[in-house]
Structure 1
Amino acid sequence: MTETVTKHERNLSALIHASTFSKFFIPFGNFIVPLVLWTANKKEYEFVDHNGKQALNFQISLLLYSIILGLISIPFFFGFLPNIFDFEHFGFLRLNNFNNLNIHFDSDDFRFGTWLLPIGITGLLQGALFVVNIVYTILATIRTNDGQTFEYPITIKFIK
């Protein structure tokens, strides 16, 4: 594929990868801008088609991983707020005696180590995803501008 790649194809492919940084200026720009560039040129250039799929699959995969990490941290976040269930306002106090179940949250059960460690780990993983996104997008931009094919790591192939 790299022998017949023109300068225009290489520049367009590099632009698709670099356009994922538009998320810092436009909400969901990391999906919208590469998608527009890719769909406008995918039938004309095979190299652009391959790189557009790679960029979009990588961005969708990172979004999915980020959502999963956020969902994992939600129970630990509520552990940080143990007194939310002690208010009479929401009727949670009456739940304490429902079918003789003891649903009492004691603030002594929620020490810093209990909720801080999982939230800290998921926060570090979110930061790692951010760094992976920056580093591999720059690598993809450079490699495709040189005419090489690039495969992102940890990518789920949503678009084939």
Structure 2
Amino acid sequence: MSVPPESVVPPPSSEPAPPSDLPSAQERQWAMFAHLSSLLGLLITGHWLGWGCFLGPLIIWLVKKDTMPFVNDQGKEALNFNITVAIIFFALFVLTLITLGLGVVIAMPIGAVVFIAWLVFTIIAAIRANEGQRYRYPYTLRLIG
């Protein structure tokens, strides 16, 4: 007894179907660039008070926010985090100035901890964005909403 070919059910595929809400590869790449561009911005502008760290995310967010929703979300997140870090470094600089240099005893260790946390969180965010996951930085002022 033979079975007609149209009634044979094909075996299930071993590869899972990609989720429909996953951002495209191009969106994931631009979102990763939004996070990593803060490292490049800091290198280009120098380490003076960390001002360069928000320029890269700002540029990428402004260029891609209307065409790529995932980049809009992650670009804002990277921008908010880097503005927060810049505010912290500016406050530490002002503390050092106000105390005529004596505040550097407090500012240097705090600055080192903030810098290491900034570096670690930026790398984690870039990896998550490249995987298509929305990342939220801890301890961030949400200034751009």
TM-score, scaled to structure 2: 0.76
Q: 1:26 aligns with which of 37, 44, 49?
A: 44
1:44 aligns with 2:74: no
Give the Cα separation in 1 of the matches to 2:127 and 2:52: 20
- Larger relative contact order (C-alpha < 8 A, sep ≥ 6)? 1
Normalized per residue, which structure has more helix?
1
Map 1:75-154; keep pairs closer than 5 Å. 75-77=98-100, 115=102, 118-154=103-139
RMSD of aligned alpha carbons: 2.0
Q: String of CA shifts for 1:47-96, please: whole Å, max 9, x gaps.
A: 11010001111111111111112222323335xxxxxxxxxxxxxxxxxx
State the AA in 2 paired with 1:134: L
Question: Matched residues, percent identical?
Answer: 30
User: Larger Rg: 1 or 2?
Assistant: 1
The answer (yes or no) to whether the contact 2:38–2:56 under 8 Å persists in 1 is yes
8 A contact 1:43–1:49 mirrored in 2: yes
SS in 2 for 1:39: helix
Are 2:142 and 1:157 aligned?
yes
Helix, strand or coil for the counterpart of 1:158? coil
| TM-superposition CA deviations, 1:83-139 (whole Å, max 9, x none) | xxxxxxxxxxxxxxxxxxxxxxxxxxxxxxxx4xx5322210011111111000000
For 1:30 and 1:73, how far apart are their aligned partners in 2? Answer: 21
Q: Give the whole-Å Cα distance in 1 for the aligned partners of 2:57 and 2:35.
A: 7
Structure 1, unpaired ranges of 5+: 79-114
Separation in 2, partners of 1:76, 1:62: 21
Instruction: Tell me what 1:17 maps to.
Output: 35
- Structure 2: runs of 5+ lacking an equivalent: 1-18, 46-50
What TM-score, normalized by structure 1, do the two folds share?
Answer: 0.69
